[in-house]
Structure 1
Amino acid sequence: MGTANPQLVFVHGIGGLRNAEAERQQWLRALATGVRAAGRAELVSALTQGWLANVRFADYSDLFNPRGAQGGSLGDELNPSDEQVLSGLLEAMVDELAEQYPPDTGTRDARVIEQARHHVDALSSGSRAQGAGEFARRLVWVTTTLLQLPGLRQGAQWVNGQAFALYLSQVARYLNRNGEKASLGSAIRSRVLEGLDPARPLVVVSHSLGTVVAYEVLHEYEGPVALWVTLGSPLALGGVVLQRLVPRPPSCPEEVGAWHNFWDRNDVVVGRPRLADWIAPSSRGVKAETAPVKSDGVWTHTATKYLEHAEVAGPIVKALLP
């Protein structure tokens, strides 16, 4: 393995503390499954053993969840700017769910979604005037209601509404550009950029909030990016995320040679096909090529679910070849 090997970087999304090496192996195993499905089984060993590329899992989870910290309540973490982002994010998620389960169908899922919408409306009704913790309590009402949906409730990723709300709040905390709050986003981007060599080709695979982080990182990065893959991305969630990206107006990073965006219709955190229409191409004409995938199982918003698809893994391994 020489120094000329391309770089493959995984950028994770929301969640708790992570074990970078364990996660790197999990993502690699899922990618290997997708590579086999794409008919390139002969490349699996080269990928998983590090002969094909130097693979790094860019772990910034400790910046959201400091090890050993006692931590305060969710309400202590949020300010009015954060609350605005979270209200908009949950409203967009409920709108996506309502497209799948329209109110006029009368199904149980449709009723749950309408109940969640009622709680979302209450989030923006001046709850802070009733006390600093009121928004957090109402936020947990929304997430607890959404967990009544089978696709979320049966996913082991969320233990309860409190955990779901806490992890969703990371999106708002990252996007907060006000005062000292802005330092968190800067620290996260520095963590992803750490150790990257602009003299070597780079492939970036980003998921969930990690696609937002990667968007801003790649606008700062000065080396060639052979391929950028976005999985389960909230980048196109209108005013919630899109209008808070830096730089603006949003466009494909200049050094990106190709951008593939994948979404699953059952992934409620995704802005779906709109991303390709709402983010302008780079000056070289590169823009997101968006494609749907269909995952088995009840919870699709995990990076490994996406990476197991041939249509996702195929372009990644191709971009790593000499």
Structure 2
Amino acid sequence: MRPALLFIHGIGGPRDPEKECGSWLAALAVGARRAGHASVASALEHGGWADAAFAHYGDLFARPHAQGESAFRIGAGEDEELRHLLEEMIHLQLLVCPNEDERRVLQHARAELTSARQAQGSGDLVRRLVNVCTTLLALPGLQRGGQWVSGRIMAGHLAQVTRYLSRAEPDGDGRTLDERVRERVLALLGKDRSTVVVAHSLGTVVALEALYRHCGPVPLLVTLGSPIGMRTVVHSRLRPQPPATPDCVGRWLNYWDRDDIIAPRPLLERDILPNAHGGLPESDRVDSDGIWVHTATKYLAQPGVAGPVVEAVRLAAEEPSA
């Protein structure tokens, strides 16, 4: 039986899908309890209620025959795209960041990027981009969150966004990296039942493009910390153009946190066309505790996020399978 709830992760390395699914469900239970769904929260905490699956693809980004940090190194031709990504991230975050200490970190990183523009040779540019990421790790949220232990790992993971959108890195059968990533998602979707899709970070880009090819009903698409609105490196490179809400999606809720540096342009309804039913993204802000707010579990623990997910999954789970 196909899941009534599908989770799709963002940037990072390989994941244990069973463990990650449990972690996301546990966070959803916290948010459900806060939203007044105590019975659902209790069922989730004991491994029941939700027929859920976790779509994972982080292993596809590992470089062949490489281990550790080098498995996610920046490859030839990816340095300029990463520079553009970092420039837009920093620029947009400076527009909304009120904290002077954090602004100084961002301004320092921006100055390093200006120097990186003048770098001679790919190796020099990569070193400077790693230095920029190291500087950004001084931001309190990134520092305390522990998502990345070094600027090099952060740079390699952020480069996954541009690697996906480059439509390159074919395998032996000619399938590009982005195609292989979407196949992981589509394999867990089917036409036989409604599925609520919750996607995070790069996973929101993957979900959007995968759902264009999906014919089954998706009563609710939830995007968390999405970079879709980043005009320079993401929005203009989505397929197809211009980007629109997939026709299979009944409702699209997009959540952002002001302190989330990965999602600095939050109002997707300004950047996405409606689908055949007039559906547009509905963006809403959430406020976490300020310690690395970009994680999917931080978002799912918010009552404003968990409440609509619980209600949509309940309806989807009650539908008879074909």
- TM surpasses 0.5: yes
- How far the C-alpha of 1:74 sits from its partner, in A, is 8.0
In structure 1, list runs of 5 or more residues that go unmatched: none
2:61 to 59, 64, 88: 64
Q: Which moved more, 1:237-246 or 1:180-189?
A: 180-189
What is the aligned partner in structure 2 of residue 285 from structure 1? 278
How many corresponding residue pairs? 312
Secondary structure, in 3 states, of the residue corresponding to 2:219?
strand
What is the aligned partner in structure 1 of residue 37 from structure 2? 40
What is the aligned partner in structure 2 of residue 94 from structure 1? 90
Deviations 1:44-82 (A, max 9, x none): 3444566544210111111113697437858964233x3
1:263 to 256, 280, 283: 256
Q: Distance in 2 between matches of 1:70 and 1:183?
A: 22
Report the AA paired with residue 174 of structure 1. Answer: Y
Q: Distance in 2 between matches of 1:23 and 1:8?
A: 14
Contact 2:6 2:53 in 1 (8 A): yes
Contact 1:207 1:233 in 2 (8 A): yes
What is the aligned partner in structure 2 of residue 84 from structure 1? 80
Contact 2:7 2:54 in 1 (8 A): yes
Contact 1:143 1:165 in 2 (8 A): yes
In structure 2, list runs of 5 or more residues that go unmatched: none
Contact 2:72 2:156 in 1 (8 A): no
Contact 2:168 2:177 in 1 (8 A): no
2:141 to 151, 157, 162: 151
- How far the C-alpha of 1:273 sits from its partner, in A, is 3.2
Q: Which moved more, 1:85-94 or 1:9-18?
A: 85-94
Report the AA paired with residue 284 of structure 1. Answer: H
Residues 72 and 32 (structure 1), Cα distance of their counterparts in 2 relative to 1, 3 Å cut: closer
Secondary structure, in 3 states, of the residue corresponding to 1:220?
coil
Q: Distance in 1 between matches of 2:216 and 2:45?
A: 24
Report the AA paired with residue 158 of structure 1. Answer: W
Residues 76 and 147 (structure 1), Cα distance of their counterparts in 2 relative to 1, 3 Å cut: closer
Residues 29 and 72 (structure 1), Cα distance of their counterparts in 2 relative to 1, 3 Å cut: closer
What is the aligned partner in structure 2 of residue 168 from structure 1? 158
**Aligned 1:1-322 pairs, distance under 5 A:** 3=1, 7-47=4-44, 52-65=49-62, 69-70=66-67, 73=70, 77-80=74-77, 82-101=78-97, 107-125=100-118, 127=119, 130-178=120-168, 180=170, 183-321=176-314, 322=318
Secondary structure, in 3 states, of the residue corresponding to 2:113?
helix
Residues 287 and 197 (structure 1), Cα distance of their counterparts in 2 relative to 1, 3 Å cut: same
Report the AA paired with residue 158 of structure 2. Answer: L
Q: Distance in 1 between matches of 2:70 and 2:47?
A: 42
Report the AA paired with residue 113 of structure 1. Answer: L
Contact 2:252 2:280 in 1 (8 A): yes
Deviations 1:87-114 (A, max 9, x none): 2211121113312447xx8x44322221
Superposed CA RMSD: 2.3
Residues 298 and 211 (structure 1), Cα distance of their counterparts in 2 relative to 1, 3 Å cut: same
Q: Distance in 2 between matches of 1:178 and 1:263?
A: 30
Residues 50 and 149 (structure 1), Cα distance of their counterparts in 2 relative to 1, 3 Å cut: closer
- How far the C-alpha of 1:178 sits from its partner, in A, is 4.1
Q: Distance in 2 between matches of 1:122 and 1:265?
A: 28
Contact 2:74 2:155 in 1 (8 A): no
Report the AA paired with residue 232 of structure 1. Answer: G
Deviations 1:181-216 (A, max 9, x none): 871111000011113221100110000000011010
